[in-house]
Amino acid sequence: MKALKAVIFDMDGVLTETSLQHYIAWKLLAKDLGFELSEEVNEKVKGISRLESLDIVLRAGNMVDKFSEAEKLELADKKNLIYQCLIKEFTKKNLSEGALELLTSLRNNNIKIALASVSKNAQFLLEAMEIGNYIDAIADPSEVKHGKPAPDIFLMAAKMLGVEPKNCIGIEDAFAGVEAIKSAGMQPVGIGSKEILYNCELVFSSLKEVNIDMLREA
């Protein structure tokens, strides 16, 4: 992308690796409800909202119709409290390999940077890992009508930066996130496995493999 003006990052699985903490939190919640949660289900909840994730988890235990909407909110909050306990000791050591180098390179080349994460804990993680000063805008997931794979949160991030979507690259680790980036009219870059991110042409195993020249050529 010759006219690259902004890069919009997901948080979990991109700038830091929190999938294990999410899985443990969901697994503990499921155990408390009386069933075991598989890693396969954990893959399905990546990149989507907490309540959508909860429905998938409850469906795995055949319990999706056993709770009212108010009770589901309580369960989602309970899961988040477990997750917060698991990430409270996070520091800059928990940054994904290559993340700081890429953020620094983007900043030095006057490329704007935004965060488009469904996580309500994104601000805490930015501060804990000491990278808040690299981020020009944080799209608030509570202010968008539709979560990923809808493009809303990426479009909000681009608007906050004052950059046209066609001049943005989105970096994601989840299938739903890549779909959101594509629907927003942006160029997606995937972090993870090509088998999972088969909807993305450009996939790297980690941010360590990504540099600004590659992004400009994407």
Residues of the chain with CATH 3.40.50.1000: 6-16+92-217
Quick: pLDDT tens for 78-102: 999 999 999 999 999 999 999 999 9
Asked if the model's pLDDT at residue 1 lies above 70, the reply is no
Alpha helix positions (H), 45-121? 50-60, 69-87, 99-108
Query: Which CATH code is given to the segment(s) 6-16+92-217?
Result: 3.40.50.1000
Cis peptide before 149 (omega within 30 of 0): yes
Asked if the model's pLDDT at residue 136 lies above 70, the reply is yes
**Can you tell me the mean pLDDT for 178-201?**
96
CATH homologous superfamily, domain 19-87: Putative phosphatase; domain 2 (1.10.150.240)
Sign of the CA dihedral running 130, 8, 153, 156: positive
Residue whose C-alpha is closest to residue 43's, from 60, 61, 65: 60
Residues of the chain with CATH 1.10.150.240: 19-87
Q: What pTM, to 2 d.p., does this model score?
A: 0.87
pLDDT > 70: what percent of the chain?
Answer: 99
| Model confidence band, residue 19 (pLDDT cutoffs 50, 70, 90) | confident
Asked if the model's pLDDT at residue 2 lies above 70, the reply is no
Asked if the model's pLDDT at residue 119 lies above 80, the reply is yes
Helix pair angle (69-87, 19-33), 10° resolution: 130
Strand 112-115 and strand 187-191: pairing?
Answer: unpaired
Is 140 marked active-site?
no
The single residue of 12, 32, 55, 173 carrying the catalytic annotation is 12
Res 47: pLDDT: 80
Res 84: pLDDT: 93
| Model confidence band, residue 150 (pLDDT cutoffs 50, 70, 90) | very high
Res 9: pLDDT: 98
Beta bridge partners of 189: 171
The single residue of 10, 32, 55, 140 carrying the catalytic annotation is 10
Is 12 marked active-site?
yes
Asked if the model's pLDDT at residue 20 lies above 80, the reply is yes
